[in-house]
A and B are shown apart, each in its own frame.
Chain A
Amino acid sequence: MRESKSECAAGNLQAVRHATFLLLAVLLSWSLQAHAIPAFNRQTGQNCVACHAGGQFPDLTPYGRIFKLTGYTIGEHALPLAAMAVASVNKTQKTSSPDPAFDERAGFPKDGNLIFQTASVFLAGRITNNLGAFVQVTYNNYDAQSPSDSHWVGHTSSDNLDLRYADRYFSPGSDFIFGATMNNNPTVQDPWNSVPAWGYNTVPGSSGPGTTPLIAGGLAQNVAGWGGYVFWNRTIYAELTGYRTANGVWSFMSQGFNTQRGDMQIVKGTNPYWRLALAHEWGPHSAMVGTYGMDARVFPDPTDPAGSTNHFRDAAIDAQYQYILDPHAVTVTATYIHEKVDYADSVAGQPHPLDPDGTLGLPLTNSSDTLRMFRAKATYAYHARFGGSLSYFDVSGTSNPALQTSAFDPANPGQLLEGSEGVTGNLAGNPGTRAWTAGAFWTPVQYARVGLEYTAFTRFNGASTNYDGFGRNARDNNTVFLYVWGAF
């Protein structure tokens, strides 16, 4: 929500606007050309609706799930290249703060501006009868601002990657798919859309919770995982994958991420991820109930990966229901993740961030925390053209002084301590954040989607009112988000 760097220069903004309009023009022209279709389309010759419910990527249909689990190998060899791009406008309800140190233009530098957010290139498709790939590389046009002149600097990095080997055996009464996956984001390999990698905030730039469990993207593109899975009679799915740091020879999965940039985490050894799901299809309906989780040890300081680690134990349940009968497509997903984290010695019991000397007597940081996240989403698409979605998330957990970026002075009741932050401040030291998102979209052609989303926060940083100590309320972060999302 809040950007850490200073304002966007007007000249740069102009250039970005031009780039955006150019992008839209390119998108439109490409989308009108029959041959200009994404890689999997070219491979199978099918429309988006075959694999994506109501044509709305990334929600997968039952057939789309089989396509993925059989290693992206159905079809024929085709040019394995595709691209997607997103242009968007984000408007936050209130961008000012009584905090004298808060710079509105620095805090919300993109607010209200039409921007070319990100673009991705995909290398995807069938390699052999059993081997297939989904490799995404993303360019973020708003990665950081130059310290010298505050111009935005773009950055290209690895995005989701999933290489698979799969085979499928039939015998009387049995349909047995088994495979191996190599990927760089826990849950990205999953075929259902209730898991964190696929289900929520999938439009780049959309609003979501701030603090999330590790399994919900915390290790994305930082790790390299190898695992095996089975899917029996389209009913029972089981998977076990181990993740290690994507460095050394595996650094191709984490290109663009590094410890110096502060976006690369280092995990200790191999960390297990597990997944079990029970699926059923009847008539135009399909449903799944499942569980997944991860046990991961992460070094608190990625630049000095030594000593004790933060130990995350994430366990989740999830469910999905789908109704697909042309022209209607409904997908409903939900997941609940419970996380227990035991902190490393260098993190636990440390001085309060606003009382580094301990002179104020503020409490020390916790030695462990619990974080819970519930998310649910329902999407309806009509004729693969119009639709809407409603989603909800609720993050809650234990309060920890380490999260307290605003605090009252114990010696002067009602007086905020020096260093307290407006807007991003967290007075309660609690991660609790809750919001509803309602969205509508229009897919004029199958490769482009125009959408509008409104996110209403009812809780933010542990409170619904005055969460930062400067009087800011959760609803002040309500956001309108307009986007154009194209794949070609």
Chain B
Amino acid sequence: MKNTILAAIVIAACAGCAAPERSRALNDPAIPPLALVQQVCSNCHGLDGNAPSSNFPRLAAQPPAYVVAQLKAFRSHGRSDPAGFEYMWGLSRHLSDAQIDGIAAYFAAQAPLPNPSHADAALVARGREIFDKGVAARELPPCASCHGDRGQGKDGFPRLAGQHADYVMKQLNVFYATEQRPEGAVMKVIAHKLEAADMPAVAAYVQSQAGS
């Protein structure tokens, strides 16, 4: 009994002295966005947003409006692609709007790093052609028209420069084959205008972009 009381006191003391700036609590609006970024987001997306693993998207220099929209779409289950619901639904479910804004602002301010790949030069060149000029015969607009001439993104249109090709491929397939990202419905039309060989070309090219 003595031990139980002692343990309860120690636990209560620890709970009391826990610092919010190093908290990993995901349902407390008092936790500052920087703490969430450091303690949680950075585990997969990297502390500077340059996710080292291609299993997770890079967020460095991502337009804040895009990150805010995605986090809110995860939170509301509006975005339901596997990467979304497997990893992000839970993490975002009780984030406050202010925390989401803070997280987006943090990543927007990070410097993007080059993302070298071993993609075939001809593939990258083909991707560049589509990105810059589109394919008029198929009424496929250039990616640059929304994502920026250097793939830097703007407002709700994500930055693609330096993004992992694997992630871009997966998302293009999500747009093409599913209704799991309704907020990106415009991309469904685009994805259907891309031929099978175009997707890896565009994905390889955007990964190679410096974006600035």
Residues of A that sit less than 8 Å from B by CB: 41, 44-47, 49-50, 62-63, 66, 70, 73-77, 126-131, 165, 167-170, 175, 249, 281-284, 324-326
Question: A334 vs B87: C-alpha distance in the bound complex, in angstroms?
Answer: 29
**Are A44 and B22 within 8 A (Cβ)?**
no
**Are A47 and B86 within 8 A (Cβ)?**
yes
Q: Is B132's CB within 8 Å of the partner chain A?
A: no
Q: Across the interface, name the chain B residue whose C-beta is closest to A250.
A: B3
Minimum CB–CB distance for A161 against chain B, Å: 14
**Chain B residues, CB < 8 A from A66:** 43
Beta-carbon contacts of B92-124 to A below 8 Å, as 1s and 0s?
Answer: 011000000000000000000000000000000
**Are A325 and B55 within 8 A (Cβ)?**
yes
Question: A285 vs B44: C-alpha distance in the bound complex, in angstroms?
Answer: 13
Minimum CB–CB distance for B170 against chain A, Å: 8
Q: Across the interface, name the chain A residue whose C-beta is closest to B39.
A: A168
**Are A284 and B53 within 8 A (Cβ)?**
yes
Minimum CB–CB distance for A72 against chain B, Å: 10
Minimum CB–CB distance for B42 against chain A, Å: 8
**Are A282 and B52 within 8 A (Cβ)?**
yes
**Chain B residues, CB < 8 A from A62:** 43, 53
Q: Across the interface, name the chain A residue whose C-beta is closest to B92.
A: A45
Q: Across the interface, name the chain A residue whose C-beta is closest to B166.
A: A325
Question: A435 vs B184: C-alpha distance in the bound complex, in angstroms?
Answer: 53
**Are A45 and B25 within 8 A (Cβ)?**
no
Q: Total interface residues on B, using CB and 8 Å?
A: 37
Q: Across the interface, name the chain A residue whose C-beta is closest to B7.
A: A163
- The residue that B38 contacts in the complex, of A77, A170, A284, with Cβ under 8 A, is A170
Minimum CB–CB distance for B106 against chain A, Å: 12
**Are B24 and A74 within 8 A (Cβ)?**
yes
**Are A75 and B15 within 8 A (Cβ)?**
no
Given contacts A45-B89, A45-B90, A75-B90, whether A324 and B15 have CB atoms under 8 Å apart is: no
Given contacts A70-B39, A326-B82, whether A76 and B22 have CB atoms under 8 Å apart is: no
Top 6 closest pairs, chain A to chain B, by CB: A45-B90, A129-B18, A76-B27, A47-B86, A128-B15, A46-B90
Question: A212 vs B11: C-alpha distance in the bound complex, in angstroms?
Answer: 38
Question: A75 vs B170: C-alpha distance in the bound complex, in angstroms?
Answer: 27
Minimum CB–CB distance for B122 against chain A, Å: 23
**16 chain-A/chain-B pairs, Cβ below 8 angstroms:** A49-B87, A50-B86, A70-B39, A73-B25, A74-B24, A75-B25, A127-B15, A129-B20, A130-B18, A131-B11, A131-B15, A165-B14, A168-B38, A284-B55, A325-B55, A326-B170
Beta-carbon contacts of B23-41 to A below 8 Å, as 1s and 0s?
Answer: 1111110000000001110
Q: Across the interface, name the chain B residue whose C-beta is closest to A282.
A: B52
Question: A211 vs B111: C-alpha distance in the bound complex, in angstroms?
Answer: 55
Q: Is B54's CB within 8 Å of the partner chain A?
A: yes
Main secondary structure of the interface of B (DSSP, over half): helix
Minimum CB–CB distance for B169 against chain A, Å: 11
**Are B53 and A324 within 8 A (Cβ)?**
yes
Q: Is B146's CB within 8 Å of the partner chain A?
A: no
Minimum CB–CB distance for B61 against chain A, Å: 19
Minimum CB–CB distance for A195 against chain B, Å: 22
- The residue that A281 contacts in the complex, of B19, B25, B52, with Cβ under 8 A, is B52
Minimum CB–CB distance for A132 against chain B, Å: 10
Chain A CB within 10 A, most for which of B28, B39, B47, B90: B90
**Are A44 and B52 within 8 A (Cβ)?**
no
**Chain B residues, CB < 8 A from A50:** 86-87
**Chain A residues, CB < 8 A from B47:** 170, 175
Known: A74-B40, A127-B15, A175-B47; 7 extra A-B contacts, CB below 8 A, are A45-B89, A46-B90, A47-B87, A70-B39, A127-B11, A168-B39, A281-B52
- The residue that A284 contacts in the complex, of B24, B54, B170, with Cβ under 8 A, is B54
- The residue that B52 contacts in the complex, of A128, A168, A283, with Cβ under 8 A, is A283
Minimum CB–CB distance for B147 against chain A, Å: 24
Q: Across the interface, name the chain B residue whose C-beta is closest to A78.
A: B27
**Are B22 and A74 within 8 A (Cβ)?**
no
Question: A126 vs B18: C-alpha distance in the bound complex, in angstroms?
Answer: 13
Question: A101 vs B89: C-alpha distance in the bound complex, in angstroms?
Answer: 61
Question: A249 vs B1: C-alpha distance in the bound complex, in angstroms?
Answer: 10
Q: Is B176's CB within 8 Å of the partner chain A?
A: no
**Chain A residues, CB < 8 A from B24:** 70, 73-75, 126, 129, 168
